[in-house]
Structure formats: C-alpha cells, structure tokens
Amino acid sequence: MTYQVYITKVAKFLPNEPVSNDEMESYLGFINGQSSKSRRIVLRNNGIKSRYYALDKEGKSTHTNYEMAALAIKSLFKNSELPIGAVQLLACGTSAPDQMMPSHAVMVHGELKNCSPMEVISPSGNCCSGMHALKYAYMSIKCGDIENAVTAGSERTSALLKSSVFENELNSLASLEENPYLSFEKDFLRWMLSDGAAAFLLQNKPNEGGISLRIDWIEGVSYAHQVETCMYMASDKLSDGSLKSYLDFSQKEIADKSIMSIKQDVKLLSQHIVPLGFNKLKDILDRRQFNINDIDYFLPHMSSEFFRSKIAENLDSNGLHIPNEKWFTNLSAIGNVGAASIYLMIEEMLSNNMLKKGQKLLLAVPESARFSYVFGLLTVC
C-alpha cells in the first residue's frame, strides 16, 4: 500500500538584514585592497538586487549553517498541532556543511533539543541536495515506513567568499592580472551566492484547514558520465578535467592555491546547464503523459537571470512553452541560496497567499557541479 504525501507547513530563516549590491564588498572584503573588476558585470547579468549573509561587516560569522537550518525547522512548529518531538525523520541538504564530520543533518538534529531520537540523513552535493532530501522523505512516507518528516535546504557560502580565503594566493602573485583565473573564475561566484535556510513539514495527510501541497512526483537525473566537473570546492581541476583532492595537497599548497574556495568553469556551465536538464524534462513529461498547459506555476531555480531566456527558448523548442506570467522566482530579492532556493520560493508563495486549491506547480532544480537535475510536480489541495 502506498500513501499520498503532503507538504503541510513551510518556514524559513534568513540571517541578518538584506545586503544590497553596493554593500557586498563591505561584508566579503576587497581582494588585494581593490574593488572587483567583475562584480558589476556579473551583477548586471544575474539580476540579483539583494541577498543575505550570515556575516557582520567585520566579516565575522553570525550563524552556522546548521543553526540556520535548525531555526527554520523550529519555526515550523510554532502553533503547530504536531509537536516537534513527534517527528520521525530529518533530511537536510546543503552545498556547504560547516564541517566534514559529523554530517550536516545530525548537527541540525543536535540543535533541536525538543526532538526525539529519529532517522537522520544528509544528502550531499549542491543545489539538488535539498531536493534529494525532499525525495527521500517523500518516498519514506509514501511507502508507509513513517507518517511524517522534516526536510530542509540551507547554505552558508559567504564564509567561502570572503577576501581572506584568497589572501595567500594573492601574496604569491605579483599582480591580480597575472592570474585571470583568480580574477574571474573564482571571483565570479562571490557575486552569485547567498546564505539562508528553509524547511518543510511532510505528512501522509493534508491539513484539515488551509492549504497543503501534494507531492505528485519527484524525479532526478545526473549527466556526470557525459560531462566533466563544472563547479567544485576542496579540490583543483587538472588539465585532463579530473579533480585533485585537497587531501593530496600540502597545507601550504591549500593556502597558496586557495584550494578550499568554490570554483566554476563558466564555459562548461554556459554550454551544458540548460540543454541537458530541460531536454530531459521533455522526456519526463512525455513519459508521464503530462500536458505542460496544465501547470499554473513554473518554479525554476536559476543561479542567474541570464539563464531565463535560454530556459524559455529550450522549453519552446521542445514544445513546452510556459507563458511568462506562470514563472515564479525570488532570485532578485533573496539571491541564489543553492539547496534552499526551491524551498524559499515555495515558502514565499504560501506566505503571500498566492496559491489556490487545484493549482499545479512544476519545480526545476539544476545543479552545475557535474550536471545533475531534479524536477517535481506539486498540487495545491
């Protein structure tokens, strides 16, 4: 016997106050004492107007990743009929855990003092990790193994974007211009990523009053067997496309080469991120015999507004035209919060009473790390 699965409550936690484009370097710091040459170009293309950092203006951390996830989860249970102690499963995804060990989700569990012993799982990865957490919980409830679960997506990438991360590498260069890779491939991501967390409560029955979101399906796919790594951290990319782990560098090399920073191969990103994933979406919808005209909202996780027209063109070429009025993102106000972005979109729609019973939401979460994607369909009920 299988069960229906519903998102019955959503909550978020965004640290501190929103940070405008002009304020970013006040928080992240200036590389080599100079304002970034790529910042305005990147910001003009990505469409982000503000974001949140778990930092103060001195660059000191104000929250850990697991603290933010826990704060979002605690908000789920304010005025809730279900006590937090009754939760049976906790699944938390992130790109940037605060530590290698213990796992991210057990650290979140450790912050939830009123919880009971429960199953805990930490999907690793990047943007898709929040959706992987959601799918694990969805399947666990659907098969009847449990009755409820909490899932979360959270990020604290700001600590990896601070100028201090690159200081040793800069000190080994005569000038920034000697290493254009540092000045763009690494600097590029400093203006793309944001901090925050959001959480869902999942149950095998809908809310008796108010709105719930039924999970109709969730489907993921990876193309790592076809394409080399695009976005990476704690490693360095070699000329043959393979990664050299931080474990194989000396401590001095880790600092001198800023191995722990986040890097992205923007040429691979531009070439593959849209066609691989959205051609697959066409296959999924065809196999499921789902008519794209039946959706009411399309929620694409986008790292940048630059990709909006490219996604639209791909959808159109696949016979999946989605009118502009059906698209919903909050990228411009919240930024790219990786594993939490799709959670934050859904939270905003519910908080603003945008949804009506019977409506359908198509979710699309691409991940550039090695080109993975997760798609899903929700029905408002």
DSSP 5-74: -EEEEEEEE--SS-EEGGGHHHHH--BTTB--SSHHHHHHHH---EE--SB-TTS-BS--HHHHHHHHHH
Per-residue pLDDT of the chain (381 residues; tens, 9 = 90+): 899 999 999 999 999 999 999 999 999 998 777 888 788 888 988 999 999 999 999 999 999 999 999 999 999 999 899 999 999 999 999 999 999 999 999 999 999 999 999 999 999 999 999 999 999 999 999 999 999 999 999 999 999 999 888 766 655 544 444 544 444 566 778 899 999 999 999 999 999 989 999 999 999 999 999 999 999 999 999 999 999 999 999 999 998 888 998 999 989 999 999 999 999 999 999 999 999 999 999 999 999 999 999 999 999 999 999 999 999 999 999 999 999 999 999 999 999 999 999 999 999 999 999 999 999 999 999
Indicate whether 197 and 275 sit together in one domain: no
Judge whether 235 lies within some domain.
Answer: no
Q: Are 108 and 152 in contact (CB under 8 A)?
A: yes
Q: Provide the whole-model pTM.
A: 0.95
- Encoded tokens for 90: 């906790």
CA distance 130 to 126: 8
Residue 30 CB neighbour total at 10 angstroms: 11
Indicate whether 276 and 142 sit together in one domain: no
Position 184 scores a pLDDT of 52
Angle between helices 341-351 and 129-142 (to 10 degrees): 70
Judge whether 251 lies within some domain.
Answer: no
Judge whether 89 lies within some domain.
Answer: yes
Indicate whether 182 and 286 sit together in one domain: no
CA distance 364 to 246: 32
Indicate whether 35 and 148 sit together in one domain: yes
Residues 6+ apart with CB under 8 A from 196: 12, 13, 14, 15, 52, 68, 154, 155, 334, 337, 340, 344
Judge whether 240 lies within some domain.
Answer: no
Indicate whether 319 and 338 sit together in one domain: yes
Angle between helices 65-76 and 104-111 (to 10 degrees): 50
DSSP character at residue 352: T
Indicate whether 10 and 110 sit together in one domain: yes
Judge whether 243 lies within some domain.
Answer: no
Judge whether 242 lies within some domain.
Answer: no
Place of tokens 């411009």: 332
- Which of 209, 233, 254 is the last residue before a domain boundary? 209
Indicate whether 130 and 174 sit together in one domain: yes
Question: What's the CATH code of the domain at 153?
Answer: 3.40.47.10
Position 174 scores a pLDDT of 46
Indicate whether 194 and 335 sit together in one domain: no
Indicate whether 304 and 370 sit together in one domain: yes
Domain that holds residue 346: 216-225+263-380
| Number of domains the chain is built from | 2
CA distance 20 to 63: 19
Indicate whether 47 and 195 sit together in one domain: yes
Judge whether 244 lies within some domain.
Answer: no
Indicate whether 25 and 95 sit together in one domain: yes
Judge whether 62 lies within some domain.
Answer: yes
Residue 222 pairs with which residues in a beta bridge? 372
Indicate whether 184 and 97 sit together in one domain: yes
Indicate the SS3 state at residue 342: helix
